[in-house]
Structure 1
Amino acid sequence: MTHTNIKAVFFDFMGTCLDWHSGTIKALPQTISESERIEVTLEKTLDALLEKRPVHKRLFDEKTKERCIAAWHSMPAWPDVARAIGQLKSAGYEVFVHANGTTRLQLDLCKSSGLSFNMLFSSQLLGVYKPAPESYREVLRLVNVKPGETVLVAAHAYDTRGAKEAGMKTVYIQRWTDDLNEDMEVVKGENDFFLEDMTNLAAVIKQL
């Protein structure tokens, strides 16, 4: 068992645990250059982007659009994640997903990634989106833990800032796909730990 003040570890999902880039790029038409395909994946609304790029619009029939949307429900985990979660469970921590999105999406992503958690907390289930303070407070209430007994692991600075505001510990995981406009020197100073991957996550959390 672990010898630490931390009882529960909450994970952001998309980007932090899941490689959304690989999962979505493979669903897009391969005749579009990779740089342009990456841009497509970053747009919130596919149709809106295609209106701006009419030259590609003919490539996106209904089946292709459906495949692109479905790709968000089937993402691989980053290679360091499964082992880190296993180590945390073996050490006696409870591990949870705390992420925006629907519960169905989270269930599908667990299936596609092979990752397993004690519980999945979606914004749909909680009725509030991160980084609203109410989101963190509600999930802590449901798990019945104090803020100081918890840590949020995320690859998004807005998320760790929200968790800090709620009194949680934070571990920032730097992923090349996310937070491209954040000053990483600032982010390093905001969090309890700043890691390039989850290889040593269990050891780091033991120090909190």
Structure 2
Amino acid sequence: MGTKTKAVLFDFMGTCLDWHSSIVEALPSALSESDRSKFALEWRQAYFDYNTARIREGRPVEDFDLSQRRVLDAFVDQQPDIKHLFSADAKEQSVAAWHRQKARNDVQEAVEKLKHDRKWEVFVHANGSTRLQLDLVKSAGLRFDMLFSSELLGHYKPAPEAYEKAMKLLKYGPEECVMVAAHASDLRDAKAVGMKTVWTDDIREDQDTVKKENDAYLSDMTNLDAVIAGL
């Protein structure tokens, strides 16, 4: 084990959870499965874009559900051919689905190895609300030592302040922390504040770039503990 590693922080939904299946299942059944899949992907990207704009404009952290409702309203309004399928109840059901997600197949074992075999502390460090994260760890059957939401920290990732506030609360230096995420932007800023970084599993990113930028590059979490121990 690297002598200084004490904490492993995870991005959550995009990295640890099968968010896509959960949202597809909750969308109006009148849409085909392929249309629901496309809608889910584009809705998620619209949420990312919404948050990016808030960060750029210096706006405060907003409740996750409120953000998702606003994004969904605007997104549906842009699609008049399916707008009628999204009643108020359908919208509420769709937003609520973000609170119920299953873990990816290899995540639970990976987290348990980090906690029990390696004796490291493990944390969620993700945008969203604390209530959202509490609901998700229950539905996914995952156990972390602490949940750091953007709501709790007062900053969205990838702002450097989000990482610095978490480390301040943990009383750890950046050389003692490892960030695991599927988003290149999350990892770039974690590395910028001095954390070690492990990239895992997001085909949208340029693979050659993320291999060069991070301390480790994984296609899954099967050997995550051994990889971190070797950093």
> TM-score surpassing 0.5?
yes
Q: Counterparts of 2:185 and 2:23 in 1: how far apart (Å)?
A: 23
Q: Counterparts of 1:144 and 1:96 in 2: how far apart (Å)?
A: 14
Contact 1:4–1:207 under 8 Å retained in 2: no
TM-score (norm 2): 0.84
Q: How does 1:138-153 map to 2 (within 5 A)?
A: 138-153=165-180
Which residue matches 2:212?
189
Which residue identity does 2:84 align to in structure 1? Answer: R
Which residue matches 1:130?
157
Q: Counterparts of 1:175 and 1:10 in 2: how far apart (Å)?
A: 17
The runs of 5 or more residues in structure 1 that have no matched partner are none
Per the alignment, in what secondary structure is the counterpart of residue 122 of structure 2? Answer: strand
Contact 2:198–2:215 under 8 Å retained in 1: yes
Q: Counterparts of 1:105 and 1:7 in 2: how far apart (Å)?
A: 26
Q: CA RMSD in A?
A: 1.3
The percentage of aligned residue pairs carrying the same residue is 55
Q: Counterparts of 2:16 and 2:134 in 1: how far apart (Å)?
A: 14
Contact 1:40–1:46 under 8 Å retained in 2: no
Which residue identity does 2:214 align to in structure 1? Answer: N
Contact 1:96–1:119 under 8 Å retained in 2: yes
Mapped pair 1:205 → 2:228: yes
Contact 1:137–1:166 under 8 Å retained in 2: yes
Which residue matches 2:21?
22
Q: Between Structure 1 and Structure 2, which shows a larger proportion of helix residues?
A: 2
Which residue matches 1:97?
124
Which residue identity does 2:27 align to in structure 1? Answer: L
Contact 2:2–2:230 under 8 Å retained in 1: no
Mapped pair 1:7 → 2:6: yes
Q: Counterparts of 1:97 and 1:192 in 2: how far apart (Å)?
A: 20
The runs of 5 or more residues in structure 2 that have no matched partner are 48-70
Listed one character per residue, the Cα deviations across residues 146-181 of structure 1 (whole Å, up to 9, x for unaligned) are 1011100000000000100010000001135xxx2x
Mapped pair 1:65 → 2:64: no
Per the alignment, in what secondary structure is the counterpart of residue 26 of structure 1? Answer: helix
Q: Counterparts of 1:121 and 1:50 in 2: how far apart (Å)?
A: 31
Contact 1:11–1:99 under 8 Å retained in 2: yes
Which residue matches 2:107?
81
Contact 2:103–2:142 under 8 Å retained in 1: yes
TM-score (norm 1): 0.93
